[in-house]
Chain A
Amino acid sequence: MSAVDKAAFLQIQDVVKDFNGFKAVNKVSLDIAKGEIFALLGSSGCGKSTLLRMLAGFETPTSGRIVLDGVDLGDMPPYQRPMNMMFQSYALFPHLSVWDNIAFGLRREHLPKERVAERVEAMLKLVQLGKYAARKPHQLSGGQQQRVALARSLAKQPQLLLLDEPLGALDKKLREETQIELVNIIESVGVTCVMVTHDQEEAMTMASRIAVMSEGRFLQVGAPGDIYETPATRFVADFIGNVNLMAGTLDVDEADHCIIGSADCKHFVGHGITGVVGMPVTVALRPEKIHLSRHKPTDEFNSVSGTIKEMAYFGSFTVYHLQLVSGERLKVSVANVQRYRDDEFTWGDSVWAHWSRSAHVVLTQ
């Protein structure tokens, strides 16, 4: 992200959408900078699509303002907004060829024929579909349709590009390839982009910033790394990736460390938190940050013993489910860096799990 203008380009201010008493979007505010690729991430029904539809103008906010480049969009109808949307499952016009689909928006601006042709050709080149210009959408594969949809939504050089589940209709392998291609195209055009997705991988690989949404509110807004490594709440920690959540109480709280006691071990965390001694907290620990060994670690903190109850082999890594003394389960992910290991862990093994003093996050809400 080189050309990020720090001033807010898109401002969402206290936006509420009330559907007969049900607040689909409940007073959210957000600033998005020019050139950013921003993802609204959440499970279905969290309000992310409603928010996107309000940006596009298909829904009107019950209250609040949406300001784009200093212009309050207010009740402006969709056909006047300087933004274009790539629809979920594309909504390509079935009666028009690829060429005419891309030209549809340009023709609405009453541009001269040569300008339209020039722009369509440029778009076809951008998405590498020149050969398919005369085809109808149903004659294309899913990936090609997706590129036509992208070309159509970029043809008018929108100030803001909206993507609704851009890769939702593709299969897994194609999705991974397309994620990167899509980001490259969007960045080469330099358009500011807001996307909606329920797929955290998609959000993390594509977006520069993510807003995690639930029940119409933003739970956390930040860069993918921040959200993954320092989740603000139990919900976010649990929603993004895999996590072990351990309940405990705050025993010691110093400026440079704190100690939290939980059922199976004492956690030594390498930073202080703002809390009072004795308060209940949750320790969030990602499975890949835990090491397994057969011997008792020397550190009295940050280690537990347990028995391997389950193993799930994923190829590049294996997830072990440990049964701890208290009866809690602990997920540990071990990268398979070698093809074969001499002392591979297996079902029923008694093992020790330990982790560093900066591996975990203390959550108070």
Chain B
Amino acid sequence: MSALRSWMSGRTAVIAVPFAFLLVFFLFPFFIVGKISVSEMETVTFKDVLSWSDGVVTLALRFSNYVFITEDPLYFKTYLASLQYALATTLLCLFIGYPFAYFMARARPTLQPALLMLVMLPFWTSFLLRVYAWRGLLTEGGWVAELIFASGLDQVLYALGLISTPGKLMHTPFSLVLGMTYTYLPFMILPLYGNLAKMDLRLLEAAADLGATPWVAFWKVTVPLSKAGIIAGSMLVFIPCVGEFVIPELLGGPETLMIGRVLWDEFFSNNDWPMASSVAVVMVLLIIVPLAIFSKYQAEAQESRK
């Protein structure tokens, strides 16, 4: 009785709600996707994975989709491209976002709420509109494009291989990564700001006292102490970027094929649900690896804060 009561205590109930939510709306659907990925299509329905006839249980798992994914270089190249674009976006967000978050956290306390508001301001308009607006800015005649052409920056981008011809910015890796960086930058800034604002500034005085110049103190004290913020921000940018569909669709082109697009095509153009599910499962596995590292690090950070 008492065991039951303790199990039913408020604490358990509070934890149980999000767990139940994840179980019903994440884990269970994921199993369905997993099941579809190993099922055989019969015109419009799927064959049951488990069948029963003449007292024999047959488990039919069709792995040909997974084999196909490994055999067809298209998939490998697309996964790789997705990871590369996501990584490039994450690094760009980090390089732009870190100084941004740093100066925000070190700004006068009265100024900080206003700066924080500015970071969140873009969320007030639709994400779709904001990404679409970049098309207008980057096509010939758009003022951002004209600025880049006038400054000769397109030659640099061409030399770096980010655009295929000088004078054309849209539907290139450049426009894609620009759009993703623009969209996901707040997700990098906010955890970094939260982390940097909490930092004990006396540690920088201690570093200076022990002979560290401000530059050394930044790298030896500030950056290591903001590791948790860097990792949180990077995960928040990297994970959604890998599976991004809308931004490549609006700003990317045939040369920037990402896995989200392949997934869409398998589902809605080819109507090959098992293949699409397999692509999705592999993508989830690709994302789970960094996520596992992230949660392991978070657990460690939690431990060390005790």
Residues of A within 8 A of B (CB): 56-58, 77-80, 84-85, 87, 91-95, 104-105, 108-109, 136, 138, 152-153, 156
Contacts and interface: CB of A to CB of B under 8 A. Distances in A.
Given A78-B205, A78-B209, A108-B210, A91 B225 contact: no
Contact of B221 (A77, A93, A156): A93
A109 B212 CA distance: 9
Interface of B: 200, 202-203, 205-213, 216, 220-221, 224-225, 227, 304-306
A108 B219 CA distance: 12
26 contacts: A58-B205, A77-B208, A79-B208, A79-B209, A79-B213, A80-B211, A84-B209, A84-B210, A87-B205, A91-B205, A91-B206, A92-B206, A93-B203, A93-B206, A93-B221, A94-B203, A94-B304, A95-B224, A95-B225, A104-B220, A105-B210, A108-B210, A108-B216, A109-B211, A138-B306, A152-B210
Contacts of A87: 202, 205-206, 209
Contacts of B221: 93, 95
Given A93-B207, A108-B211, 13 more contacts: A58-B208, A77-B208, A79-B210, A80-B211, A87-B206, A91-B202, A91-B203, A93-B203, A94-B203, A95-B225, A105-B211, A108-B212, A156-B210
Contacts of A78: 205, 208-209
Nearest to B202: A91
B211 A79 contact: yes
A84 B200 CA distance: 19
Task: Tell me what chain A mostly uses at the interface: helix, strand, loop, or mixed.
Answer: mixed
A85 B209 contact: yes
A152 B207 CA distance: 11
Contacts of A85: 206, 209
**Closest 9 A-B residue pairs measured CB to CB?**
A105-B210, A108-B211, A91-B206, A78-B208, A91-B202, A95-B224, A79-B208, A85-B209, A79-B211
Contacts of A105: 210-211
A56 B209 contact: yes
A116 to B, nearest CB: 13
A6 to B, nearest CB: 29
A92 B206 CA distance: 8
A136 B202 CA distance: 18
A85 B205 CA distance: 10
A85 B203 CA distance: 12
Contacts of A91: 200, 202-203, 205-206
Nearest to B304: A136
A56 B204 CA distance: 13
Contacts of B210: 79, 84, 104-105, 108, 152, 156
A84 B212 CA distance: 12
B204 to A, nearest CB: 9
A95 B227 CA distance: 10
B211 to A, nearest CB: 4
A84 to B, nearest CB: 6
A109 B213 CA distance: 11
Nearest to A53: B205
Contacts of A92: 206
B234 to A, nearest CB: 18
Nearest to A136: B304
Nearest to B200: A91
B212 A79 contact: yes
A77 B216 CA distance: 14
Nearest to B224: A95
A108 B210 CA distance: 8
Nearest to A109: B211
